């Protein structure tokens, strides 16, 4: 990505929050601002859900509250990340125009009373929203406090897939533009199957609920369309702002577990700065590794440029089955892990905990308990550290390994009919990433087809959908000397969800030096034993090596005797293949072996247990910054020399990192 026309400019690392002053009487605002100053807050997102306050009745605007709060923040020297306010329509709009309400796949509408109750294709919604954007950007476009625009909020969080008739018509328009002819569409979707052939465009709808499984090509295109449709909505808001303001524009992405609907590779180029929201998900096996993955992916979306963590939490969220409070020091570890991985801003949802509404049990910087609380004290401590590490802003993370990630593969893998319902795309990505993470390797997350020349090790987990040209980038890079690990279910279908015939892994087949005849998944929980003593689960395959060397084979299960781990010399490089999901320890051992073979070192050497430690280096012009996050309870010692910025001490040769602590070493740039 080239440098945006409007870079986000901030003095040091931004520290801030979502702030919803509408929920409070103005006398609370003064206290809020005084406490923000005490905590070091210098970037505040407001007007995220402002519409019903700004436009209480159609066409009638009232900016008095927003004028007041922007004025107060400005006077206090706090920059404003200004929401366009369009994320949830006001009651008058959905009452007058119920057709803007979204429709789910069973053909029923979803009603107001929650949030984001709008159809992404609705021209009525768009016109009303753009009128508000015009008013807001017209009024505050050149306000000196506004340093960033925040379009809508988490676009597509709830309403990405709309099945109403308006959406269906827009989908048809998108399909016509893509395929040109109905025959082209029939070929791409494989409609010869089950008598699904279309003769007229008007016969096509969105993939509403059916009695049987739905057409996978239609599902895949509907995902692509839905992502594009919201991107076009983002662009419409951004176009209005661009006319009326010179401040940079972004929206908050949801690079976080379980949210799959937008292909952010296609969105990222439109952002003046990439911004992400991330919440620890305690339903996962390794929430910390997922946090790091999301941070690395956020950086990857901006092509390595610094990004902004627009939301995370100081403690429990309110939307998981069990909402866990954070442990002592966890706020610091989480926030500074994001900074380690390229964030130039760390912000929270939200400033002051709500007393009402469905998020009243969501944590905040200022909790219900007030300032006499561990959360508040940790927030203030974090603000102090963020202030001291301002020089980190603008530096870039160093990585010599990459992982290929694809939203299209995610969508295609989650197909309703697949070899095992237990097979999930993100699970495979997380398992591979967790192994890299546990091994202490810093990884860039890249799109299929991205240039790999900066890397020595590339991991390709479950890249189910792949175009020939994207696979060629990987196999050519291997031939030129790279070391890659491709894992099962990769290279199974092309961009039209058509199986690459002739043995799975399709366009990777020759480079991998093996031919897969049949998938043989196993019941979740069933262990598979490998000839090298390892254990695995979930998946096995019946395959034959052509030119590859078998490193381990299945000792039991449905693919007994068939290869489980192989290595093929391809040109001057090595193409490894993993036909199963190893235990976490075995996965890590495999990655360690590959990293060793590829010559990829961790960012620094650790003495003692390394499992719960992450170490990342950001390189700046005059100095680099070594971030060490110790998630474990035992102290560790890490090789480092320079000035430690959290405690403000000089370290020479090594630094002691107590259990649960974070240390940031400013290393002088080599002369
Ligand atoms: C985000 C959203 C915020 C808040 C937060 C709670 O999805 O943007 O408005 O709802 O989650 O975790």
Q: What is the pLDDT of residues 247-285, one digit of tens each?
A: 999 999 999 878 899 999 999 999 999 999 999 999 998
* Å from CA of 114 to ligand 1 middle: 12
* Å from CA of 18 to ligand 1 middle: 9
Query: Which residues of the chain are in CATH 3.20.20.80 domains?
Result: 14-394
Catalytic site residue from 290, 311, 330, 470:
311
Ligand 1 nearest-atom number relative to CA 154: 8
Query: Which residues of the chain are in CATH 3.40.50.880 domains?
Result: 401-598
* Dihedral sign computed on CA atoms, order 317, 42, 354, 255: negative
Residue nearest atom 3 in ligand 1 by C-alpha distance: 349
> Catalytic: 517?
no
Query: Which residues of the chain are in CATH 2.60.40.1180 domains?
Result: 606-668
From 349, 350, 360, the mutation candidate for ligand 1 (largest count of ligand atoms within 8 A of CB) is 349
* Å from CA of 387 to ligand 1 middle: 25
pTM more than 0.85: yes
Q: What is the pLDDT of residues 178-225, one digit of tens each?
A: 999 999 999 999 999 999 999 999 999 999 999 999 999 999 999 999
Nearest to 459 by CA among 426, 480, 435: 435
| C-alpha pair distances (Å), 64 with each of 50, 447, 603 | 12, 45, 52
From 152, 158, 311, 326, the mutation candidate for ligand 1 (largest count of ligand atoms within 8 A of CB) is 311
Q: What is the pLDDT of residues 124-147, one digit of tens each?
A: 999 999 999 999 999 999 999 999
Residue 175 structure tokens: 């399909």
Beta strands in 282-361 (DSSP E): 307-311, 343-348
Q: Which CATH architecture has domain 606-668?
A: Sandwich (2.60)
Residue pair 179/112 in contact by the 8 Å Cβ criterion? no
> Catalytic: 154?
yes
Residue 395, pLDDT above cutoff 50: yes
Ligand 1 nearest-atom number relative to CA 157: 7
Residue 670, pLDDT above cutoff 70: no
Ligand 1 nearest-atom number relative to CA 252: 8
> For the residues 456-460, what does the mean pLDDT come to?
98
Residue 561's pLDDT is 98
Q: What is the pLDDT of residues 25-39, one digit of tens each?
A: 999 999 999 999 999
Ligand 1 nearest-atom number relative to CA 279: 12
Residue 299's pLDDT is 98
> For the residues 596-602, what does the mean pLDDT come to?
94
Question: What lines the ligand 1 site, CB under 6 Å?
Answer: 153-154, 157, 277, 279, 311, 317, 349, 359, 362
Burial pattern 493-514, b for ≥16 Cβ within 10 A else e, equals bbbebbebeebbbbbbbebbbb
Residue nearest atom 4 in ligand 1 by C-alpha distance: 349
Range 14-394 has CATH code 3.20.20.80: yes
From 85, 86, 250, 359, the mutation candidate for ligand 1 (largest count of ligand atoms within 8 A of CB) is 359
* Å from CA of 153 to ligand 1 middle: 9
* Å from CA of 279 to ligand 1 middle: 9
Residue 1's pLDDT is 46
Residue nearest atom 2 in ligand 1 by C-alpha distance: 154
* Å from CA of 274 to ligand 1 middle: 17
| C-alpha pair distances (Å), 61 with each of 50, 280, 529 | 11, 38, 68
Q: Which CATH architecture has domain 401-598?
A: 3-Layer(aba) Sandwich (3.40)
């Amino acid at each position: 990505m080239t440098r945006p026309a409007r870079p986000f400019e901030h003095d040091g690392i931004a520290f801030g929050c979502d702030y919803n002053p509408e929920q409070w009487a103005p006398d609370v605002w003064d206290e809020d601002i005084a406490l923000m100053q005490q905590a070091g807050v210098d970037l505040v997102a407001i007007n995220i859900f402002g519409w019903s306050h700004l436009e209480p009745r159609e066409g009638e605007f009232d900016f008095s509250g927003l004028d007041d709060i922007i004025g107060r923040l400005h006077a206090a020297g706090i920059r404003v990340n200004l929401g366009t306010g369009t994320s949830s329509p006001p009651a008058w709009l959905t009452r007058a125009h119920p057709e803007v309400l979204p429709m789910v796949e069973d053909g029923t509408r979803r009603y107001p009373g929650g949030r984001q109750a709008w159809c992404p294709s609705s021209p009525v919604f768009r016109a009303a929203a753009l009128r508000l954007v015009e008013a807001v950007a017209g009024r505050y476009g050149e306000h000196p406090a506004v340093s960033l625009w925040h379009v809508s909020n988490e676009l597509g969080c709830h309403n990405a897939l709309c099945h109403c008739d308006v959406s269906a018509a827009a989908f048809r328009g998108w399909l016509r533009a893509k395929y040109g002819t109905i025959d082209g569409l029939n070929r791409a979707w494989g409609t010869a199957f089950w008598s699904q052939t279309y003769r007229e465009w008007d016969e096509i709808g969105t993939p509403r609920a059916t009695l049987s499984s739905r057409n996978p090509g239609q599902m895949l295109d509907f995902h692509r369309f839905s992502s594009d449709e919201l991107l076009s909505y983002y662009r419409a808001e951004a176009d209005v702002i661009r006319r009326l303001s010179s401040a940079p524009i972004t929206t908050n992405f949801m690079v976080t577990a379980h949210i799959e609907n937008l292909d952010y590779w296609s969105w990222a180029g439109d952002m003046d700065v990439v911004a992400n929201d991330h919440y620890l998900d305690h339903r996962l096996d390794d929430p910390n590794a997922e946090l790091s993955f999301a941070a690395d992916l956020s950086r990857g979306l901006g092509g390595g440029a610094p990004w902004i963590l627009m939301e995370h939490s100081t403690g429990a969220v309110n939307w998981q089955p069990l909402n866990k409070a954070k442990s002592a020091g966890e706020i610091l570890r989480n926030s500074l892990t994001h900074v380690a991985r390229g964030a130039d801003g760390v912000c929270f949802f939200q400033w002051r905990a709500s007393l009402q509404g469905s998020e009243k049990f969501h944590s905040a910087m200022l909790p219900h308990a007030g300032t006499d609380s561990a959360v508040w004290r940790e927030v203030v401590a974090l603000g102090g550290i963020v202030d001291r590490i301002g020089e980190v802003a603008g530096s870039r993370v160093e990585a010599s390994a990459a992982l290929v990630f694809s939203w299209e593969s995610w969508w295609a893998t989650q197909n309703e009919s697949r070899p095992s319902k237990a097979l999930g795309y993100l699970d495979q990505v997380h398992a591979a990433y967790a192994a890299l993470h546990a091994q202490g390797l810093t990884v860039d997350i890249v799109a299929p087809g991205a240039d790999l020349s900066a890397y020595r090790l590339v991991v390709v987990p479950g890249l189910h959908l792949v175009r020939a040209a994207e696979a060629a980038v990987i196999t050519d890079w291997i031939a030129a000397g790279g070391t890659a690990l491709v894992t099962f279910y990769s290279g199974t279908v092309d961009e039209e969800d058509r199986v690459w015939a002739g043995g799975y892994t399709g366009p990777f087949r020759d480079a991998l030096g093996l031919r897969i005849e049949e998938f043989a998944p196993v019941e979740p929980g069933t262990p598979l034993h490998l000839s090298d003593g390892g254990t695995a689960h979930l998946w096995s395959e019946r395959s034959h090596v052509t030119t590859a060397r078998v490193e381990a084979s299945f000792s039991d299960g449905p693919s007994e005797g068939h290869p489980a781990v192989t290595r093929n010399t391809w040109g001057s490089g090595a193409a490894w293949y993993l036909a199963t999901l190893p235990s976490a320890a075995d996965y890590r051992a495999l990655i360690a072996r590959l990293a060793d073979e590829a010559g990829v070192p961790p960012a620094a050497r650790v003495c003692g247990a390394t499992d719960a430690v992450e170490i990342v280096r950001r390189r700046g012009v005059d100095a680099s910054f070594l971030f060490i996050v110790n998630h474990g309870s035992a102290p560790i010692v890490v090789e480092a020399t320079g000035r430690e910025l959290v405690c403000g001490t000089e370290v020479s040769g090594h630094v002691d990192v107590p259990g649960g602590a974070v240390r940031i070493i400013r290393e002088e740039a080599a002369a």
